[in-house]
Amino acid sequence: MNYPNGKKASLRGNANSPSPAFANRGMSLEDDINETNEFYLSTRKAVIHKKPTPVQIVKVDYPKRSAAVIKEAYFKQASTTDYNGVYRSKYIDFEAKQTKNKTSFPLSNVHQHQIDHMKEVIEHGGISFLIVRFSVYNKTFLFPGVKLFQFWESQYNGGKKSISYEEIKQAGIIIPFKYQARVDYLQAVDQLYF
């Protein structure tokens, strides 16, 4: 089967299973978002890409001319968030996280420089949020940046160091799993911001 853009549908599951396309649908949030972004791009809905991680390569071995092997590399700087782009004339910037925790999302999964970056995006009129997947339930949510900031600040004033699953369900928007736009987060963006 092919997508409307001509790409072949990937069958990630077991070939003997009745619906292989849905068998491992919760395996990788990043893969699902990347496929969704490809669909958005091919249908001209949005231009959103994964940001490359800035790496400084220090040592490379060349056992063969065509087979270079990186032996040593370092992060040049702390990266900001995972994804950015443009949708409906607005700049979008977000972080994507997956957790196996059943009851909460640990704030330790996010870093101060990412929070600072997300705040700057919002201060300049952009849209910034967190996409969080609870693997155990195979549920994915868009959690607004401004809500995330409240929990982030609270942890330094005696508050919890996590956001409960129930709090994310209440303040976030569930992102349904779909066939073409696997994690159709722009549907949630429309609900929150437009």
Residue 28 lies in a domain: yes
Residue 189 lies in a domain: yes
Where in the sequence is the domain holding 129, given as residue range(s)? 20-52+79-193
| Token pair for 8 | 């072949």
Whether the pLDDT of residue 182 is over 50: the answer is yes
Residue 183 lies in a domain: yes
Residue 59 lies in a domain: no
Provide the pLDDT for residue 80: 86
For residue 25, the domain's CATH number is 3.40.1350.10
Residue 3 lies in a domain: no
Residue 10 lies in a domain: no
Residue 173 lies in a domain: yes
112-122 mean pLDDT: 96
**Average predicted confidence (pLDDT) for the chain:** 85
Edge-to-edge strand order for the sheet containing 173-174? 47-50, 83-87, 90-99, 127-134, 139-144, 173-174
Whether the pLDDT of residue 174 is over 60: the answer is yes
Residue 66 lies in a domain: no
What is the tally of structural domains in the chain? 1
Task: Report strand pairing: 47-50 vs 67-75.
Answer: unpaired
pLDDT one-digit tens code per residue, 48-97: 999 877 677 777 888 777 777 877 777 666 678 999 999 999 999 999 99
Q: Please tell me the pTM assigned to this model.
A: 0.77
